[in-house]
Chains A and B, each alone.
Chain A
Amino acid sequence: GNSVTQMEGPVTLSEEAFLTINCTYTATGYPSLFWYVQYPGEGLQLLLKATKADDKGSNKGFEATYRKETTSFHLEKGSVQVSDSAVYFCALVHSLDYKLSFGAGTTVTVRA
């Protein structure tokens, strides 16, 4: 079946550091890939998405590229801020399905 594996946390960084969160997936065919962010006590917000191989999703300084050859969708940001402290979830939707499959989430804490 479809599954997502993402880097375990927690991850603690200083402000302006470079952030990478690894995400790999297992799926047949061509899934759509997503990163969602969850701030403390809140629901999930879509951060970015990519629907086909080599697509790059970007938003708020975050980027992720859909790599079919390595079945990966790693999240990166070049210079994090304290306000980026949150839990980040990688997820996929299979082209023949309608529901998201999530990774376990990675908690990121950015210190001033």
Chain B
Amino acid sequence: DTGVSQDPRHKITKRGQNVTFRCDPISEHNRLYWYRQTLGQGPEFLTYFQNEAQLEKSRLLSDRFSAERPKGSFSTLEIQRTEQGDSAMYLCASSPGGGRNTIYFGEGSWLTVV
């Protein structure tokens, strides 16, 4: 098992540019999550996929954010017209089905908007 993989690990972008992060979950995990973590805080839930269906989006996910999971495998998180407040670590996680299953996290993608 290779674990949850995220790319890129670090991204520096200018305000107003678009960025995209990719997440490859653990093989056969049908649940995929995106979280955001700012310095000194715990991760905050952004969105959740069950296979290819996006079942929940947090109010934190403004209309500049979009997430997809085509074919229920990898996922992308795109941020359009980035703002300095978007600077954070974006964490992807996956789990098998079932409410009590462990959720496994990737290494995260650091975004710095300058």
Which A positions have Cβ atoms within 8 angstroms of B?
A: 32, 34, 36, 42-46, 49, 51, 89, 91, 93-105
Residues of B within 8 A of A97 (CB): 99
Q: Give the residues in chain A near B111, CB-CB below 8 Å.
A: none
Q: Using known A-B contacts A42-B108, A43-B91, A45-B105, determine if residue A100 contacts B45 with beta carbons closer than 8 Å.
A: yes
Expressed in whole angstroms, the minimum distance between the Cβ of B64 and any Cβ of chain A is 22
Contacts of A99 in B (CB 8 A): 33, 45, 48, 56
Taking CB as reference atom, which chain B residue is nearest A46? B102
Give complex CA distance A45, B81 in Å. 31
Q: In the complex, A47 Cα to B58 Cα: how many Å?
A: 26
- The total of Cβ contacts below 8 Å across the A-B interface reads 59
Q: Which of B37-91 contact A (CB under 8 A)?
A: 40-45, 48, 56, 91
A58 to B105: give the CA distance in the assembly, Å.
19
The number of chain B residues touching the other chain, given as a range, is: 20 to 34
- Report Cα–Cα, A63/B15, bound state, in Å: 44
Please, which residues of chain A bring their CB within 8 A of the CB of B43? 44, 89, 100, 102
Binding site for A on B (CB under 8 A): 4, 6, 31, 33, 35, 40-45, 48, 56, 91, 93, 95, 99-100, 102-108
Q: Tell whether, in the assembled complex, residue A49 and residue B102 are in contact, meaning their CB atoms are under 8 Å apart.
A: yes
What are the residues of chain A within 8 A of B48 when measuring CB–CB?
98-99
A43 adjacent to B106 (CB under 8 Å) = yes
Which residue on B lies nearest to A95, using beta carbons?
A: B99
Given contacts A46-B104, A98-B31, contact A93 B99 (CB under 8 A): yes
Cross-chain contact B99 with A43 (CB below 8 angstroms): no
Contacts of B4 in A (CB 8 A): 43
Q: Top 4 A-B pairs ranked by shortest CB distance?
A: A102-B42, A44-B105, A43-B107, A43-B108
Contact in complex: B99, A105 (CB < 8 Å): no
